[in-house]
Structure 1
Amino acid sequence: MAFFSIIEGRKLLAVILCIGFFLLLIQPFSLAEFNKVELHWRVIETPHFLIHYHEGEEVFAQESARIAEEVYPSITSDLGYFPIPKIPIIIENISDITGGYTSLLVGKIVIQAQSDPARTSGTLSWPREVIAHELTHLVMIAALGESILPLRRIMGSLVLPMWFIEGLAQFEAEEWHSLKEMQVGQASREGKVLSEGDLGAFYFFDGSGRTAGYYQSDSFVRYIFQTYGRDKIAGILSHLRRQPIFQLVGEVSLVSGEGLLYPSPRFLSFNEALVEVIGKDSSTLYAEWRNWIEEKYPSQRESEDLLLLPGKLLVSWGKRSQHPVFSPRGDRIAFVSNQGYDYAIFDLYLMDLRTRKMKKLDRMVDPYFSFSPEGDKIIYAKTRFYPSSRAFLTDLYEVDVESGRMRRLTFGLRASEPSFSPDGKRALLVKNEGGNSNLFLLNMSTGEVLPLTHDKDGLTQNFSPSFSPEGDRIVFVSSRRGQRDIYLLDLEAQKIISLTSDEADDRSPVFSPDGKRVYFISNREDGIFNLFSLDPEEGEAIRQHTRVDSGVFEPNISPDGERILVSAYKDGKFSLYLLSLEDLIEVKLSNHNGGKAQSLQVEYREEGAGRKIYPSFSYHPSLKLHYILPWFSFGPEGSFFSLEGYASDYLERHNLHFSTLLGEDIQYDLSYLNRAFQPTLWGNLYKVRGYRIFRTILYPT
């Protein structure tokens, strides 16, 4: 690391080699987002986008390019603005994290090429939801002004309420699906709808509050624009774009009579835009929406109270107690809970069903695991930072339930959702690669990993695998072509067959102990997640076993086939219930629509596999000036002009930050950060004199 300095006219060149700098490189907080010099990047150019991707992600990048172009017309039309430059989208699959974000000042979108399908619902593909969500953010802020002078964009980010920013992104990117209906409906029934103030700042809450904020904001925005017209979105943004951001302020001294006139920033007014475009302010619209949802969601049905009784409640810790699993003897259960953490951080627990005593087995685990056949060990996944890879990767661990001794099984495998085979010699895994989730089989003795599904379309997700009692079949969920269905994989016949094939959202399949039925969760009746089952061999009618208003999830049947564990959403959180199979209803529904058998080697692709392939070229970094912040100050104590700016290439390999102050003398600070090598290089050229200001008098320091 080198510092180049000019101080008070005397040149000083100092080169400092800092060993601590290299130590910082192994810490996750010091990592540059794209400081992976071994990766080779390419760029796909479309009419409106520049899709950046590294090796291994070309299929997903092409799919992302097509999706971005598909959603671009509707989003820009709704928002009434068409960005001038082509929009950079960065596709990366370096760490085992999901989602995406928008850099508003830089004007780029970053997408992680992995998904968590259990957290979403609806018929839209996960890349479509993420890309459309982030594109809405970018176009909305660009609609306020694309000048390199970012003051209007900064003001917009500060004054626009979160319910409008995130609700609009949800409205444009996602459907109103069953998970949203479940959580918003129950919040309304229980009087837990967020206040207008909380809805405007929910991003500062914990994970549970943020989830409620996202879903309720979506409902609020849908109500406004479905009631008053979708064209009002563009009208609101256009009004904000026209509002002045400066105003003249005058001051007159009552003693001397002297006057002073100077410009002052003026904050944008969201309420002013609402009144002008819709005719009502934010508080009035919020009150209307609040009354609307309270009328929409009636009181709970009696049937739910008859099933999820207090006496059946097993665990209700934190906001999420989930994924309950019986031990092979049925005398204990394991589960995860986020007690003491934010919304999506879990600890692994073991409970004795007879004494109800519990103990913690491990901290900060992924929420899917499996008992060994003997019940003495649990296999699970954890995501941890890898210093050598400079990334967060997911690996498998094993814990002894008696001693608590842990053992790491894999190193850099990037696998999750492990499930033991009945003989304990193999384990099912899920790996995320190229936008797809596929199933793999791990040999517990040799460590050999074999693929079971081979989807490579950048969209299909295979997850939630579970062995049959004999170990010759596997049930899992596959999300493809806008559907989430239950599939059966026959290991001996090397075939895959769909057990359900319809528009319902089916998830969490498990075999009964005798292997004759598959229990699963679905929203196929009334759009509410309930428990169902089917016979995987005979093709008889699907049977419904619960009818609750809130939702049940993640069933697990006891080894004796007499009890069932579920995670139920009630009172605004997920809790564990222990039910008798005799407590359940049994209602026959229509025959399930299974598909024909397919070879294990088949690669499922979206319809229209011959869609357009966009050209690509090697990435060559070039600096782009992202913003300049000028500032003037005039006063009796002195006047000055300051200028601050930032430039970089889209992968942030080269970063230039500069600031200058023109007053009594010239001061400046120029910093350059190079992330194209290992280690990172940093140069700093500056001439700075500090000041302290007290009672309007300047004191040089």
Structure 2
Amino acid sequence: MRKIRYVLLILFAISTAISAQFNEFYPEYEWYTITGKNVFVHYHEGAERTARVVAKIADEVWGPITSLYGYEPDKVHYVIKDIDDYSNGATYFFDNKIEIWASALDFDLRGTHNWLRNVISHEFTHMVQIQAGMKWTRSIPAFYIQYLDYQDVRRPDLLYGYPDVIASYPIPAINIPAWFAEGTAQYMRKEFNYDNWDSNRDMILRSYVLDNNMLTWNEMGEFGKTSLGNESVYNSGFALTRYISQKYGEDKLRKITQKLGKFGNFTIDAAFKDVLGKDGDEIYDEWKSVLKQSYEKRTAAVKENLVAGEIIFDEGFGNFYPKFTKDGSKFYFISNKGNDYLSTSSLYVYDFKTKKAKMVISGIRSTIGLTPDEKKIIFAKLSEDNPKWINIHDLFTYDIEEEEETRLTHGLRANNPDVSHDGKKITFLYQKDGT
């Protein structure tokens, strides 16, 4: 009979401390540091204005956000980047570091907000809430219980046989679902209005609700979807977080987070049950019912007097910026037809006679301009073909008859162009140092 041998191992993953050498990001730039009351702001040459604004905002939002969760992190390091044409924020909660890209977010599925106040409050809420919900110190992201078993072999030259069973069970320091992490980060504080529930967000959620196609309770807990699906995790999380705050009290966000930080609690359902007296499915169904009733009531008059246009193109979920020819026979537009992400959009032309759309140029997300003679299209796209080999926008023209692309600028950071009525000038968006 085989004799079972096993070894029980606990493996600790130790996170490294944040490095003081912030010029590791782009060593060809000079880097500087501003010291605030609660933060360090590290920035490269050319980004000083953004860095000083970040330092001011970061100290201002510190008190309101930390008081909501009853938790203060160690002094936070902000790293400011304004090199590529990219807009985002990233929180490294094990390292106490937040990265901010200075260019303002231009996203078709959201409205317009104060970018720096929005992204700083959002990322700092991530830092505070996630650290407040950790089960132990941030120096230990997770540990694993590992089981090993070996072949039952006996020979003078062997102590035991080769391993034939290896099983690992991870126990993470964090078990905050995606919707709750992003929902609280967008909610921030009741008195904040840096990322408010705008009409774009409401349109997306309203469509899901009225079509009986909301993300399920489990789908809200993870990303890995299309651009629209991932944005819907943000939207649903924001809406449900607002609902919990309004119905049960803003303090419940802290209490739920604290319950998630208990060693014996590994689900949001259990945290809800402890704090709200109902599990996740019950809260979800309750919220879903309220949304359904509210949206049906608010759209009743619209449905009674509905005027609907004719859908001429329904492929892709992102079709933007139509530009019609003078005779109205065609129009050019940007679409993510056949793709899961808005970032992989292309320029198409739709012909009303054939009722078909044809791709003109791939890899374009910007607005477009059509010259008065309708022979050329002006557009922008990202390119690394510039003196510094950084990923920024430049302007291009496309000759419709010759089917030939010509580059107009090199390293200008020019985006979202249009053409003047006389065809002599091109207007475009330019961002630098957060403006």
TM-score range, shorter chain: 0.7 to 0.9
SS in 2 for 1:391: coil
Structure that is richer in helix per residue? 2
The separation in 1 between residues aligned to 2:390 and 2:340, in whole angstroms, is 22
TM-superposed deviation, 1:329: 4.0
Matches for 1:318-357 after TM superposition, within 5 Å: 318-345=316-343, 346-357=345-356
Equivalent residue, structure 2, for 1:64: 54
TM-superposed deviation, 1:425: 2.0
TM-superposed deviation, 1:214: 0.8
Matches for 1:176-255 after TM superposition, within 5 Å: 176-201=197-222, 203-243=223-263
Select which of 254, 273, 284 maps to 1:275.
273
Select which of 164, 168, 172 maps to 1:155.
172
Equivalent residue, structure 2, for 1:174: 195
Matches for 1:611-622 after TM superposition, within 5 Å: none
The separation in 2 between residues aligned to 1:422 and 1:149, in whole angstroms, is 61
Matches for 1:527-606 after TM superposition, within 5 Å: none
1:419–1:427 Cα contact (<8 Å) kept: yes
Equivalent residue, structure 1, for 2:394: 395
Matches for 1:108-507 after TM superposition, within 5 Å: 108-117=97-106, 119=108, 124-143=113-132, 144=134, 145-151=136-142, 155-157=172-174, 159-172=175-188, 174-201=195-222, 203-243=223-263, 268-298=266-296, 300-301=299-300, 303=302, 306-309=306-309, 312-345=310-343, 346-386=345-385, 389-436=388-435
The separation in 2 between residues aligned to 1:405 and 1:292, in whole angstroms, is 54
Q: 1:208 to 1:123 in 2, by over 3 A?
A: closer
Write out per-residue CA displacement over residues 629-681 of structure 1, whole angstroms, 9 at most, x where no aligned residue.
Answer: xxxxxxxxxxxxxxxxxxxxxxxxxxxxxxxxxxxxxxxxxxxxxxxxxxxxx
2:398–2:405 Cα contact (<8 Å) kept: yes
Q: 1:137 to 1:206 in 2, by over 3 A?
A: same
Q: 1:111 to 1:120 in 2, by over 3 A?
A: farther
2:68–2:251 Cα contact (<8 Å) kept: yes
TM-superposed deviation, 1:147: 4.1
Q: Which amino acid aligns with 1:222?
A: R
1:155–1:268 Cα contact (<8 Å) kept: no
The separation in 2 between residues aligned to 1:331 and 1:122, in whole angstroms, is 32
Q: Which amino acid aligns with 2:34?
A: I
The separation in 1 between residues aligned to 2:275 and 2:340, in whole angstroms, is 39
Equivalent residue, structure 2, for 1:454: none
The separation in 2 between residues aligned to 1:279 and 1:147, in whole angstroms, is 30
SS in 1 for 2:339: coil
Same amino acid, percent of matched pairs: 31
TM-superposed deviation, 1:240: 3.1
2:87–2:104 Cα contact (<8 Å) kept: yes
Q: Which amino acid aligns with 2:82?
A: N
2:366–2:415 Cα contact (<8 Å) kept: no
Q: Which amino acid aligns with 2:115?
A: W
The separation in 2 between residues aligned to 1:118 and 1:283, in whole angstroms, is 31
Q: 1:93 to 1:167 in 2, by over 3 A?
A: same
TM-superposed deviation, 1:353: 2.8
The separation in 2 between residues aligned to 1:410 and 1:370, in whole angstroms, is 16
SS in 1 for 2:87: coil
Q: Does 1:53 align with 2:46?
A: no
SS in 2 for 1:307: coil
TM-score normalised by structure 2 residue count: 0.81
SS in 1 for 2:401: coil
Q: Which amino acid aligns with 2:67?
A: S
The separation in 2 between residues aligned to 1:146 and 1:432, in whole angstroms, is 40
Q: Which amino acid aligns with 2:252?
A: K
The separation in 2 between residues aligned to 1:178 and 1:298, in whole angstroms, is 17
Equivalent residue, structure 1, for 2:146: none
The separation in 2 between residues aligned to 1:357 and 1:207, in whole angstroms, is 25
Q: Which amino acid aligns with 2:172?
A: M
TM-superposed deviation, 1:221: 1.2
Equivalent residue, structure 2, for 1:44: 34
Q: 1:403 to 1:350 in 2, by over 3 A?
A: farther
TM-superposed deviation, 1:370: 0.5
Write out per-residue CA displacement over residues 359-391 of structure 1, whole angstroms, 9 at most, x where no aligned residue.
Answer: 211111023010011001100001123475242
Q: 1:163 to 1:42 in 2, by over 3 A?
A: same
1:81–1:234 Cα contact (<8 Å) kept: no
2:210–2:296 Cα contact (<8 Å) kept: yes
The separation in 2 between residues aligned to 1:223 and 1:207, in whole angstroms, is 24
TM-superposed deviation, 1:358: 2.9
Q: 1:160 to 1:119 in 2, by over 3 A?
A: same
* Superposition RMSD in Å: 2.4
The separation in 2 between residues aligned to 1:433 and 1:178, in whole angstroms, is 28
Write out per-residue CA displacement over residues 206-230 of structure 1, whole angstroms, 9 at most, x where no aligned residue.
Answer: 1110111111111111111221111
Matches for 1:627-666 after TM superposition, within 5 Å: none
SS in 2 for 1:398: strand
Equivalent residue, structure 1, for 2:87: 98
TM-superposed deviation, 1:349: 0.9
1:328–1:374 Cα contact (<8 Å) kept: no
Equivalent residue, structure 2, for 1:79: 69
1:394–1:415 Cα contact (<8 Å) kept: yes
The separation in 2 between residues aligned to 1:112 and 1:106, in whole angstroms, is 18
Q: 1:385 to 1:123 in 2, by over 3 A?
A: closer
Q: Which amino acid aligns with 2:62?
A: Y
SS in 2 for 1:114: coil
The separation in 2 between residues aligned to 1:40 and 1:74, in whole angstroms, is 34
* Number of aligned residues: 378
Write out per-residue CA displacement over residues 434-461 of structure 1, whole angstroms, 9 at most, x where no aligned residue.
Answer: 111xxxxxxxxxxxxxxxxxxxxxxxxx
SS in 2 for 1:42: strand
TM-superposed deviation, 1:197: 0.8
- Where structure 2 has 5 or more consecutive residues not aligned to the other structure, the ranges are 1-21, 144-169, 189-193
Q: Report which of the two structures shows the higher radius of gyration computed on alpha carbons.
A: 1
The separation in 2 between residues aligned to 1:57 and 1:313, in whole angstroms, is 46
TM-superposed deviation, 1:402: 2.6
Q: Which amino acid aligns with 1:204?
A: G
TM-superposed deviation, 1:191: 0.6
Structure that is richer in strand per residue? 1
